[in-house]
Structure 1
């Protein structure tokens, strides 16, 4: 296929370049100045049989990488599964996801569990995917190096918690964490941490409960029980325990500016999520359970600080922490027991495109790093993913910059559509998501141009899934 006359976001460039892109055998074969195909008779003859898509007026971005999703399979598929989760990812311009180890039964802490998970999701994924391995509080410190070594060639990192609400994946203690940091460093894999200090949370929760007395819990009880100090204290503790191995430490879903600054100053990496950039604790009054995550969104000024840190490169990238749930788990009438999670993989790229790049909070280079390049580098996928370059996979998103996107929950393809992003109108509209040169998601307009028919299970008045379940490819560290 030749994608002709498209304005492409190329690596290292400050603005878009009008180009033609040749896709061959799932890879980008070449990128040339727009019109080269028509002007050069040799090229015209050589590629005369190729399908051509005239993308005049459209922008081409590298396919987004969402490096933090909970697709819950196997084990918690009443909330999400790989088929619906990856369909929603494709709808939102995401071409690669990295799935967490903790929301599977069994958790991905052994090669056997990983292969069992792979045998199930391999027939369902619509976009490319990788896994994280898990390190939890059930492991003896002396066992952790063997766990890491046994999984390292099949995963792109390891996840642990300083506080966990999951009986199947308990938090690690200081000794376990230190052992994990050393073991991950020896295998050259990042150690991911949910960084909230359990002691700070316990004290804040007790204080809030004493103030509340016999009154029913409110949303203020939830977000004040997990204050900014919990993130800051956890990051400082993690940096101290990691010691000489801090460059392998990665802090997930950071909502507090001081936590991100502390991590980056010591050489650790960190991510934030779209909901920390879009919302703050005052929004619980409007959205309630639809906004609940752990950690919760923070004070209003933190949004501006996180945007600044992202623009400065002190936040490595943005992830969704996709974690939907059914209504009966979200709307419990008790803020403290309502399930915490947002189905965000479909809104991640559109939100950052509109409110980051188009709103001029992020330069083009920063936007590309936040949505694709940063995660590709951190998780060993850069040789094959993360930018529009000859030799890499033809993963790209076509965007119409002159139209807007209305975030209608009825258009979502995930199992859950309970989201605080509902009703937003964003600049730009995704026309197509291509994975290894194949169109996985197409707008109604693009599908007609490609003469494709929809999979009836995933289509609506806006767009449709064109790939078959199982099209997604399993990726490991060093993929090219």
Structure 2
């Protein structure tokens, strides 16, 4: 689908009263004809990283073509959004859909259905499946597996191993590289400095090199005391920053859970290192105080931190580039076993938790839009994702601030549980659009398997 040559060929026939600031000048990606489906979201409180304002949103086919008050379009389907907030579809840059190799826990169909139910329209899946994504062949195979299953758009990261630095760097369709400095689910631990340096030297500087930031030697040293204490994360992040500085690479630190990590990242940024970071939803909404009630359900890597540490993350939320779910499902039987694996589901509860926090004043709605959509799309170079603006995909979440959500009442994830079961939240997801089409409406996923598309960096 190629770009239109002029504004008039795709917009003028559809709308009147479009202000110059919102026109799609030279960026339209819709077909030049005007026979594509037209939808007009009317009267929404549109949230962008820059503010919240009442606007209409005009959609043609898969694309947003105008955002402005008072739009009209002959023949367009009108969606009344008065009293609703319109947020950009979440770009969840950290999920584990367990496919291929562990589909008894989750697969691309159930994982993407859970994503849409939580307002997530694009996911980036991690490479640490039982059949790890560590070669061009494995990458292509995973895309082929996911494409007919996924109900939402998806991208993939390539995994780092001791011998694949040059091969991983050559996989141009990967959104980034994932390097596990500490052990976690799967077999991709890469703890030795030589192998880590090879990847930092080889990976393209314009793409993020994402780390699981726990130092394996420290993890083993402290195994008899506090499980994976903060020093494990601090040591790993400090080393990764040094490697990023030496090789002039873009470092992305996954699931930051301590203020010490934020201190190290802030210092690195002040010294010119390109370092971005994310916080996982569970490190904001759960703490060590929840472990007694949750038992093995609360086991995750990195682990839950003290309430004081959690409050410190909230106080420094402006230092994070994104929030990700780190959706890592396991079955209840596995979590209740003698050796429970680490990880919790979260892709369908992340936005509801954050929206409730925004309504309570813990963060602003513009900041929410940046952390969950605009920033992850920009960091991973995902074209046309992450904003409600002309020229972007019509990935939109409509939420009712007067509604209520009870987490765990209904779940789409195959694992069938959530650590937040029973929490009552303000706000309710009413409708989710994926590239202009309904994907989730009034509690039901209506997008079909295969309607999601593979997305790769620009």
Q: TM-score range by the shorter chain?
A: 0.7 to 0.9
Q: Which residue of 2 aligns with 1:7?
A: 45
Query: Between Structure 1 and Structure 2, how many residues are aligned?
Result: 415
Q: Which runs of 5+ in 1 are unaligned?
A: 38-46, 209-223, 444-462
- Tell whether the 8 Å contact from 2:180 to 2:191 is kept in structure 1 after alignment: yes
1:146 aligns with 2:146: no
1:32 aligns with 2:68: yes
Runs of 4+ in 1 over 2 A off after TM superposition: 165-172, 241-247
Distance in 2 (CA, whole Å) between partners of 1:11 and 1:170 is 36
TM superposition score normalised by structure 1: 0.84
1:288 aligns with 2:295: yes
Q: Which residue of 1 aligns with 2:156?
A: 131
Give how far 1:363 is off. Answer: 2.0
1:22 aligns with 2:65: no
Q: Which runs of 5+ in 2 are unaligned?
A: 1-38, 270-274
- 1:48 aligned counterpart, secondary structure: coil
Q: Deviations over 1:289-345 (max 9, x none)?
A: 2221111011111111111221x2x1111111101111221001x4xx211111100
- Tell whether the 8 Å contact from 1:136 to 1:172 is kept in structure 2 after alignment: no
- Tell whether the 8 Å contact from 1:27 to 1:437 is kept in structure 2 after alignment: yes
Map 1:430-445 → 2, pairs under 5 A: 430-443=429-442
- Tell whether the 8 Å contact from 2:180 to 2:212 is kept in structure 1 after alignment: yes
Give how far 1:243 is off. Answer: 2.5
Q: Which residue of 1 aligns with 2:34?
A: none
**Structure with higher helix content:** 1
Q: 2:276 aligns with which of 266, 269, 278?
A: 269
Distance in 1 (CA, whole Å) between partners of 2:68 and 2:278 is 34
- 2:311 aligned counterpart, secondary structure: helix
- 1:411 aligned counterpart, secondary structure: coil
Q: Deviations over 1:206-238 (max 9, x none)?
A: 4x3xxxxxxxxxxxxxxx120011111111111
- 1:226 aligned counterpart, secondary structure: coil
- Tell whether the 8 Å contact from 2:59 to 2:436 is kept in structure 1 after alignment: yes
Give how far 1:275 is off. Answer: 0.7
Q: 1:319 aligns with which of 314, 320, 324?
A: 324
- Tell whether the 8 Å contact from 2:130 to 2:186 is kept in structure 1 after alignment: no
Task: Provide the alpha-carbon RMSD of the alignment.
Answer: 1.5
Distance in 2 (CA, whole Å) between partners of 1:28 and 1:281 is 43
Distance in 2 (CA, whole Å) between partners of 1:12 and 1:167 is 40
- Tell whether the 8 Å contact from 2:296 to 2:340 is kept in structure 1 after alignment: yes
Q: 2:199 aligns with which of 172, 180, 196?
A: 180
Q: 1:300 aligns with which of 300, 307, 319?
A: 307
Give how far 1:246 is off. Answer: 5.7
Q: Which residue of 2 aligns with 1:171?
A: 190
1:469–1:378: structure 2 CA closer, same or farther, 3 Å change rule? same
Q: Which residue of 2 aligns with 1:447?
A: none
- Tell whether the 8 Å contact from 1:255 to 1:295 is kept in structure 2 after alignment: yes
- Tell whether the 8 Å contact from 1:317 to 1:371 is kept in structure 2 after alignment: yes
Distance in 2 (CA, whole Å) between partners of 1:109 and 1:50 is 46
1:246–1:365: structure 2 CA closer, same or farther, 3 Å change rule? farther
- Tell whether the 8 Å contact from 1:80 to 1:415 is kept in structure 2 after alignment: yes
